[in-house]
Structure formats: C-alpha cells, structure tokens
C-alpha cells in the first residue's frame, strides 16, 4: 500500500481492493502482491503492485467532471460547423426524449442560442464536453464525456442526465 499511496487512485480501485480482500487474498494469506487485473473490474487493488502505466485522467476511467488532473484540452468553439452539428444533435435528442415521455405539451421547444464550452480531450476514448443554453427559458445543459470525436458524424449517444432534461424543460407558470 505504501508503494501505491503516492499514485492517483479512484473508487474503482477501492472496489477492486474490497473484492481482492474478499475473494482473492484469503487463499494466499494476504501475502500476494503480484499485479492482478480482477476480471470485469476497472480498478486495481491497493494491496497489489499496480500496473506501471501512468495513473492520470487520460488513462483511468475517472469521469471528466470528477477528475482533478489538468488535461490537455483543445477548444473547438471556433469550428462553427461542428458547434452547429452538435447543438442540433443534442437538441434533437432532448426533444426526442421529451416526446418519448409524452411531455412535449408541458415543455419549452429548445433552441441553442450560445455554446459556452466545447472542448475536446484525447483520452482512452476521445471525449467532447459541451455546455450550451437558451437564455430565453433559463435552461443550461452540460454534458461531459460525450464519446464521438469531432471529426465524425456519429449519432448522439444516450445522455444519462435525463432528470436534468426533465427539470429544465417544464414551462414556468406565470
């Protein structure tokens, strides 16, 4: 554990350590320190030697919004075609979700007025983070870890912040 103490750790490593203690270490009387990737787990046990690869936000499965590392980021705001395509895809996705929930009559029709952030980070999987909002109704959407690289026309993947969409869509009562 002393060897690993100075390295970046994640909650995935904590989970792997608990599994290691419960399932794998008892058979060796808690003396096995060899590197072992537990099948199906994203982390590495604190009790074992960890792989020699760098442990940073580019190589660990830490969600972007929780990462404390400073990563190289490329701002893509100047790419107007990209911002238009991403904003249209995101708004179409949001409207599709609202239609699927039968909330169209209760919700504003969204339009993108301004992109606040559009960053591209190269990690194990390329990530796009964006923040946009139509000030007319005060809604602001943030999305971190959006997988499609900016050079593709990939469809918008599911956005886990469905509750945020619902919260932001309801029309204000006057």
Enter the pTM of the model.
Answer: 0.47
**Which domain covers residue 46, as residue numbers?**
2-55
How many domains are there within the chain?
2
Partners of 114 in the β-ladder: 133
Residue found by looking up tokens 């959407």 in the block: 141
Residues 44 and 81 in one domain: no
Whether the predicted pLDDT of 150 surpasses 80: no
Residues 50 and 80 in one domain: no
Phi/psi at 99 (5° precision):
-60, -45
DSSP state of 170: B
Would residue 44 count as lying in a domain?
A: yes
Partners of 146 in the β-ladder: 128
Residues 39 and 111 in one domain: no
pLDDT tens digits, 99-132:
888 877 777 677 666 666 666 655 555 455 555 5
């Amino acid at each position: 554990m002393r060897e690993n103490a100075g390295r970046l750790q994640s909650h995935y490593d904590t989970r792997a350590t608990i599994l290691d203690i419960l399932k794998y270490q008892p058979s060796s009387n808690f003396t096995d320190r060899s590197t072992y990737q537990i099948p199906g787990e994203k982390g590495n046990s604190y009790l074992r030697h960890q792989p020699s690869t760098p442990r940073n936000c580019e190589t660990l499965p830490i969600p972007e919004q929780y990462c404390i590392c400073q990563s190289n980021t490329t701002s893509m705001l100047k790419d107007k075609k990209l911002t238009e395509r991403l904003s249209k895809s995101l708004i179409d996705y949001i409207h599709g979700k609202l239609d699927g929930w039968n909330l169209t009559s209760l919700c504003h029709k969204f339009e993108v007025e301004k992109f606040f952030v559009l960053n591209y980070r190269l990690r194990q999987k390329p990530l796009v983070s964006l923040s946009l909002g139509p000030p007319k109704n005060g809604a602001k959407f943030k999305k971190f870890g959006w997988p499609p690289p900016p050079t593709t026309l990939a469809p918008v993947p599911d956005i886990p912040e469905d509750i945020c969409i619902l919260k932001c869509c309801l029309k204000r009562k006057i």
